[in-house]
Amino acid sequence: MSRLVAFAAIQGGYNIVSKVEGKYKKALQTYNADTKVGFPNTAYYLPVIYSLLGIKVETLEDMQKPLAFARKLLPPHVKGSNHLPYLGPLLDAGMAALFAFELEEALRYLEDPDFYHPSEEVDLDAGKIWLGAADDTVMRKRGVEFVDGSAPGFAAIVGSAPDVDTAKLIVEEYQRRSLYIFCAANQNGTTVIEQLIEGGVQVGWNTRIVPFGPDISSAIFALGFANRAAMAFGGVKPGDYKTILKYNKDRIFAFVNALGDVNAEWAAAAAGCVNWGFPTLADTDIPEILPTGICTYEHVVANVKHEEMVQRSVEVRGLKTTVSQIEIPCAFGPAYEGERVRGADLYCQTGGGKTQCTEYLQLAEMNDIEDGKVTVVGPDIPDMKEGDTFPMAIFMQVAGREFQEDFEPILERQTHHLINYIQGIMHIGQRDIAWVRVSKAAVDKGFTLKDIGVVLHAKFHQDFNKILDKVQVTLYTKPEDVEKITAQARAAYKQRDERVENMTDEDEEIFYSCTLCQSFAPTHVCTVSPERTGLCGAYNWMDCKASYEINPTGPNQPIEKGEVLDPVLGQFAGVNEFVKKASRGAVTHYNFYSLVHDPMTTCGCCEAIAAMLPACNGVMTVHRDYTGETPCGMKFTTLAGVMGGGASSPGFVGHSKYNVIQKKFLKGDGGLLRMVWMPKSLKEELRERLLKRGEELGYPNLVDMIADETVGTTEEEIMPFLQEKGHPALSMPPLVG
């Protein structure tokens, strides 16, 4: 390893720590020592410092301890008398620099609270392009993608490319490989983000191109995101720095691309990232660190050509990615799912309340359809002019010896993602309330409606080849044809809903496991039954059945439920046996229908968390999109941090939003009649189904008896409301006794 790289990184560490010490002293002269500091809307304080050192930085005074720690980490300067190796001191200097960067960014939030735009999307009109630290809602929403594999890793890009076209070349190739791109730092006064915006590329969390900030210090937000994922989804405890760093090396596939001249501060940041197992690849002639050791392969690689940057980066990190090659004129991949087609970009659209747009997938006889046949019946994009609206029905016919009628809605649901994966096309909704917007840019590239059928055919074969043999797609755009297909579809929707909703746990002898999240929470085992959907909200019993048929060795395995040990709490001998084995003995049993007695394990992917409210003799639930206070005294993010690492936590349990209105929801604790509080947004989302369940339970106005944040966020505040409404929980047997 070159002595020069050690010299530069260690010098950079000294420069950074000294600079932040100066900023801190200045802040103490301006603000009181007890002034609150931190990143907005997070339960993880300053997450790199909190995760590695276990120090909660909540006030200006609290900064003293980690700043002093950073100073002590700085090694002696490299001198002629020093001998190889330099890697240990290099890593210490890098870590000191990163701690200082996090403190520097906290000071920025204090002194210039409007510098960052607290959103998932940039606001170009207001000139707000820097998003800063992701809050916990964003982190959990996006972190799930690292759990389920839809985001295989992230590229942290610092600096800027030589020109706009090169910036687009690199970033769009990462998008095609489904990676996130975390951007920070400037080079000669410009950044990759500004180059992308100039090139007409949408940036923001929704397109996986995240503009953290214009300075090298804002690169700390990428590492904070990674460490929070380890704590939120993996259950790693704050202060357990060895496990945090090893977890990131083994599970978070990330790397750094340094574009432009690498100064001492950049060198220190790169050295710091090596602690995580994240290598750095540069496009300039910098000293390299090629021997393996901390990183999977090389640590620092120089002189990488721009056209080779993406492929070389994934190779050095040991990351396996795939690129979907589909014969359409637009780019295609999960990174485009969050693109927005706004008014100024819009060429034409269908659905969205303006016209009818329906999606319907039907099982067909093998000889009745022709594989790969895609037909547009009616006007296509070339027949339309800018600003047009049109009706559309996407009729998908699928045949296969292993295909079952139960799989229809599962494949049909994929249309939302797959159409969104087309660059320049936006899809919202499902079934007969879909909405598709086509951008001018897509039309300029030659996009037609037939391309939707091409994508569906290709991806259905790619993702479901074990259960289907033929796919035929017909897109109708004549009003009379759309009306006819919509009538057929609505009849099928009704039949499907009745089939699923009428299933019970008693009727099925086979449940299904879901161990998808074990990559982040090793002891978590989710069991999905007809009346207990997966806590992430993405999998119901039918989905797991289909998943097993598609991939018999995958995360969804059949479980013979076996002897019913407790029909009220929902405990089954076969499930216990499977859970004990799948958790490697960490969990020996749990109950499906209780949060009081040995509840099911929970991981950070859960859509909602229910908790006991003893003073109200009831329970509450809160979903991840709600960021406010709750009557149990903890926000969603705090709750998830406390019990979301794969533990069974009596008094709390994770669940899907839909599970709230399933008949077995908390049956062992009194069921839905125990529900005394939930956020208003969740209550409105579930209102129609809550009305139906309330009527079945003898309380037709139950939904309006449940308190929300407009009533109060403490047990004391909501109790008078519950008493006034005569909430049934108040007259039920004690919840704990």
| Residue 1's pLDDT band (cuts 50, 70, 90) | very low
**Bridge partners, 187 (sequence order):** 190
Residue 326 lies in a domain: no
Supply angle C-alpha 735, 736, 737, rounded to 5.
Answer: 120
| 31 burial type by CB count under 10 A (0-12 exposed, 13-18 middle, 19+ buried) | middle
In the predicted model, what is the mean pLDDT of residues 520-537?
85
Among residues of the chain, what percentage have pLDDT more than 70? Answer: 96
* Predicted pLDDT at 482: 97
Question: Quick one: pLDDT at residue 323?
Answer: 66
Same domain, 546 and 416: no
Q: What integer best gives the mean pLDDT of the chain?
A: 91
CA nearest 161: which of 9, 338, 274, 304?
304
Q: Are residues 517 and 493 in the same domain?
A: no
Name the DSSP class of 74: P
Position 519 scores a pLDDT of 58
Q: What is the pLDDT of residue 430?
A: 83
Higher pLDDT, 539 or 412: 412
Q: What is the pLDDT of residues 390-424, one digit of tens each?
A: 999 999 999 998 888 888 988 898 899 899 999 99
More confident residue, 582 or 450: 450
d(CA 609, CA 623): 7
DSSP of 380-414: -GGG--TTEE--EEEEEEEE-TT--GGGHHHHHHH
**pLDDT tens readout for residues 485-509:** 999 999 998 888 777 788 899 999 9
Domain range for 685: 510-731
SS3 332: strand
Q: Rg of the chain over CA atoms, in angstroms?
A: 27
Give dist(CA 378, CA 547) in Å, integer: 36
Q: What is the CATH number of the domain that holds 36?
A: 3.40.50.2030
- How many structural domains compose the chain? 3
Which of 501, 525, 555 is the endpoint of a domain?
A: 501
The pLDDT assigned to 124 comes to: 93
Residues 424 and 537 in one domain: no
Q: What is the pLDDT of residue 28?
A: 96
CATH of the domain at 456: 3.30.1650.10
pLDDT for 30 beyond 80 = yes
Are residues 407 and 424 located together in one domain of the fold? yes
Q: Indicate whether 706 belongs to any domain.
A: yes
C-alpha dist (Å) from residue 540 to 544, 558, 582: 6, 13, 20
393 lies in the same domain as 477: yes
Torsion sign, CA atoms 352, 353, 358, 359? positive
Are 585 and 577 within 8 A, CB to CB? no
Which residue is associated with the tokens 């991949």?
333
Res 290 pLDDT > 80: no
> Are 610 and 711 found together in one domain?
yes
